[in-house]
Copies of this chain bind each other. A is one copy, B any other.
């Protein structure tokens, strides 16, 4: 009963059992070189009987590649990250590569740890979708220069030998705000940015640009952070949206429309609005960002900005494989996907 932690069965074990050289077993396994039907049968029999699994470590050590790609995510509890990883996986699986995901929980330090851990296992390439940090970007540059293919997704990492895939959030933010302006709104709040963090956010800058362009003043009081959680945005940002909206509602003159940093913040905000006994969109209109599946199923359905998430994942994977499989240096590619405003009833009542 008590199983002493067994050694893995090795190719050499098989060879011994089948009475051939290890090399012959290797040939059978990889279908390379000539093996007589008879020998092959012997080997196959031994393989079946002994339940052999090749040691990827040893194989990779010899072959110098693992056919595995690492994906670093900041936050797994995030529909965006999920959809992204689906896209990545689709492409990799089709090309026979495995995917290992590491999560950094939004910390630059954990980011580094994830890089190292994946590289230690000699993944063939890295897709990085975490938030940029000086620390992380410096390390990434080293990694790239050391010869490991790297593709960034939506992360501010630019390097002549790494590709970048992202979506045009500046324009996305702009269009969201522009939409509200075109509906006649003049006091438009933003939820999800605090004065100490997030001001770099592209979608926020797009919002600012739209206001400016239409001659609307940017009022500080209309920009709501949402407390502590603003530091660590993740899945649970309903909280952030809820708190942010409460701040805005408490103003002497609350906004007539708000643009939330993402759909979850928007959900929280919608809730705060309803709790206050106000109607959406009649009293306050609201726009989110991301178009997560739930967005079309709230009441009212949420107007939001859709980014082609899965496509970003797919493209990143393709760019990475291109680098991995090419012997020569590859020209840098930077691809920016367009975002699309999806108008629903949270801004335009029906």
| Chain A residues proximal to chain B, CB less than 8 Å | 1-9, 51, 53-61, 66, 68, 76-79, 81-83, 85-86, 89, 93, 98-103, 105, 110, 113, 116-117, 119-122, 142, 145-147, 160-161, 235-236, 238-239, 242, 264, 267-268, 270-271, 274-275, 293-294, 297-299, 327-329
Contact = CB atoms under 8 A, between A and B. Distances in A.
B66 A76 contact: no
A238, A275, A294, A329 — most chain B CB neighbours (10 Å): A294
Contacts of A85: 76, 103
A100 B101 contact: yes
A74 to B, nearest CB: 12
Given A3-B145, A5-B327, A85-B103, A264 B120 contact: no
Contacts of A329: 1-4
A95 to B, nearest CB: 14
A4, A93, A101, A105 — most chain B CB neighbours (10 Å): A101
Contact of A146 (B51, B61, B113): B51
B105 A102 contact: no
Given A57-B66, A238-B293, A274-B299, 13 more contacts: A2-B328, A7-B147, A53-B146, A56-B119, A56-B122, A59-B120, A68-B117, A76-B81, A98-B113, A101-B103, A236-B293, A239-B297, A268-B297
